[in-house]
Amino acid sequence: MQKINFEQTIKLIHKEINVKLVKANKELDRFLVSAVPIIPKLGNYFFKKRGKQLRPVICLLSSKMINKNYSQISSDIDMSAAIEFIHGATLLHDDVIDEGKLRRGQKSINTIWNNKFSVLFGDFLFSKSFQLMTKANSLKAMDSLSQVSSKISEGEFLQLTNENNIHITERKYIEIISLKTAELFAASMKIPAILTGKNLTIISSLNKLGLYFGIIFQIMDDYLDYFGDRVTGKKNGKDFYEGKITLPIILLLKKSNKTEVNFIKKVFKKSKRLKNDYTKIMNLMKKYKINDDVRIFCNKYNKKSLKILKLFEGYQKDLFINLLISSINRTY
């Protein structure tokens, strides 16, 4: 059976909501205009490569799945643009915290300019996201995205305080990636239902669906740091060298013998990890087939997601199913 391709699925989704995605991007461009010359300069550079735009895309696809009058709705366009600004702001702040040098295959803003510019531009995007939210004219939707902004910050703090924590549990890891990544996916999925006054069952179901997808997506990102065939804008081993304890390491610790566990602990206690350390860790990963274990772990959330999708119907539902399945099949 042929695996469903992630990139092809994204292209099909883009095609499905292209009219509104184009309008959302025009809104982004319009809100990047400023009398202060450096702001549009940073904006043009940062958004030059817009990538998959997964979060606004999911917002618009969710809207089309649940609304028969989808083409007459415009509030989802404003909210999807706001979501993209929030995501952009978190990336800018991430690059400062992680000392990231590359973003979307090009030099990060903090590398070309400096950390101050990156932080301030991130703050600018956050402020613009709230302006966009007010256009949607929904206090409930604004409240939802405002809460997510706080959760993302909490996730960042939680991750920072658990750096090099070799005793981190699967539960704590899921809590971190839920706050830092998955909650914005959850909001992206449920916002269209809030905007159009859908019942609490639909809103809750879409929230869970987005949360599960976000967890899967982040786990696979962490997986690709060790097992990726090709990584754009992120070299293999980045998380390892930064001392981040992600799911592959957590699962490896559960399978390793006492000597191996002591070695792994010693490696992550170092102030700097070397290439030789990475090679040895990768040998252990292969020995215990951690790549298979990570995908099995993801499949638990995949099954929950597919169960939720039974509540919905149509071509958009099929695209969501393909997105979930292809996310676990990602190789880069």
User: Is pLDDT of 2 > 60?
Assistant: no
The per-residue pLDDT for 238 is: 86
Question: What's the confidence (pLDDT) of residue 234?
Answer: 53
CA distance 247 to 204: 27
Q: Are 90 and 152 in contact (CB under 8 A)?
A: yes
- What pLDDT shows up at residue 317? 97
Say if residues 220 and 330 touch (Cβ distance below 8 Å): yes
Asked whether 215 and 301 are in contact (CB, 8 A), the reply is yes
322: β partners: none
SS3 annotation, 250-311: HHHHHHCCHHHHHHHHHHHHCCCCCHHHHHHHHHHHHHCCHHHHHHHHHHHHHHHHHHHHCC
Rounded Cα distance between 84 and 259, Å, is 46
Q: What is the pLDDT of residues 142-160, one digit of tens each?
A: 999 989 999 999 999 998 8
Using the predicted structure, report yes or no on whether residue 307 has a pLDDT greater than 60.
yes
In three state form, how does the secondary structure of 105-135 look? CEECHHHHCCHHHHHHHHHHHHHHHHHHHHH
Looking at the DSSP bridge assignments, the partners of residue 107 are: 102
Cα–Cα distance, 85 to 62 (Å, whole number): 19
Least trusted range by pLDDT, from 208-212, 224-228, 279-283, 297-301:
224-228
pLDDT of residue 136: 85
41 confidence band (pLDDT: 50, 70, 90): very high
Q: Say if residues 207 and 190 touch (Cβ distance below 8 Å).
A: yes
Q: What is the mean pLDDT of residues 189-197?
A: 96
Please report the pLDDT score of residue 230 as a whole number: 56
Mean pLDDT of 202-214: 97
Cα separation, 212 vs 168, in Å, equals 21
pTM of the model: 0.93
DSSP collapsed to 3 states, 146-162: HHHHHHHHHHHHHHHHC
> At 41, phi and psi to the nearest 5?
-65, -45
**What residues contact residue 125 under an 8 Å CB cut-off, 6+ apart?**
85, 86, 88, 89, 92
